[in-house]
Amino acid sequence: MPKRHHKGWVKALLFLLFILAAVSLIRFTPVKNYLSASALGGLLDQAGFWAPLIYMLLYAAGVCLFLPGTLLTGLGAAVFGPYWGFLYVWFGAMAGSSAAFFIGRTLGREFAASLIGERLKKYDDAIERNGFAAVLYLRLIYFPFTPMNFGMGLTRVRFRDYFAGTGLGIVAGTFIFTFFIGTLKDVWVSGNWVELVSLKVFFSLGLFIVSFFIPKMIKKIKK
């Protein structure tokens, strides 16, 4: 077995072990007890001035450890509100998606390249040429976030195209979700239940409902 091919197999094994270890850590160890919304919210409440930075680091680590994105995003909206929550969620998601991409690229790309035959090579070349458009499209149709982060690292897509496509592609969905959760949280905290029938609440609810139709609209536009 050529030395380079052997190195690719070793890296691929490390990549697989990393994924198994990440999933096992979250699901089968006491760590999962500290990853509930209440536990993480309590941690951020005690962090004071450093809460935003800690939250973004937690989000980035959570992405790499396969934590549900809805938990992390909802937590950010609930703790920081609809607007600052959106900003911190976006930065955390970008940091996590970039880290996951480099893990996939470093540990899995050589092995993936060795498996690509002539029939698949044209797709690998195409995603390198049209990386930004491909990433943007997959983000807009809500392709599973964490698998895509690692998976794109296995392709020839340039990091700058991946980063730009991800950054633009998650803006709409992130804002809609954080605005909806953050608005409901503000009403809950204020105790002014009359605001549930306010224009802001109806607007956030409308955006939230529309978000479920974004993938279908994007696919129709693409066709």
- Per-residue model confidence (pLDDT) at position 113: 64
- Per-residue model confidence (pLDDT) at position 42: 86
Average pLDDT, the chain: 82
Which pTM was predicted?
0.82
Q: Out of 51-55, 109-113, 157-161, which region has the weakest mean confidence (pLDDT)?
A: 109-113
Asked whether 148 and 141 are in contact (CB, 8 A), the reply is no
CA distances from 60 to 69, 114, 151, 161, 190 (A): 10, 30, 17, 20, 31
Neighbours of 106 (CB within 10 A): 13
Q: Out of 87-91, 157-161, 187-191, which region has the weakest mean confidence (pLDDT)?
A: 187-191
Q: Tens digit of pLDDT for each residue in 163-188?
A: 999 999 999 888 888 888 888 887 77
Q: Does residue 6 register a pLDDT over 70?
A: no
Pick from 190, 142, 144, 137: nearest CA to 162: 137
Q: Does residue 29 register a pLDDT over 70?
A: yes
Structure tokens at 111: 């092995």
Say how far apart CA 121 and CA 124 lie, in whole Å. 5
- 21 or 91, greater pLDDT: 91
Q: How does 93-104 read in b/e, with b if 16+ C-beta sit within 10 Å?
A: bbbbbbebbebb
Say how far apart CA 31 and CA 8 lie, in whole Å. 32
Q: Tens digit of pLDDT for each residue in 76-111?
A: 998 998 899 999 999 999 999 999 999 989 888 777
Q: Tens digit of pLDDT for each residue in 123-143?
A: 777 888 888 999 998 998 888
- Per-residue model confidence (pLDDT) at position 57: 95
Q: What is the mean pLDDT of residues 15-25?
A: 83
- 217 or 129, greater pLDDT: 129
Q: Is 71 exposed, middle or buried (0-12, 13-18, 19+ CB in 10 A)?
A: middle
CA distances from 37 to 52, 129, 172, 197 (A): 16, 41, 23, 27
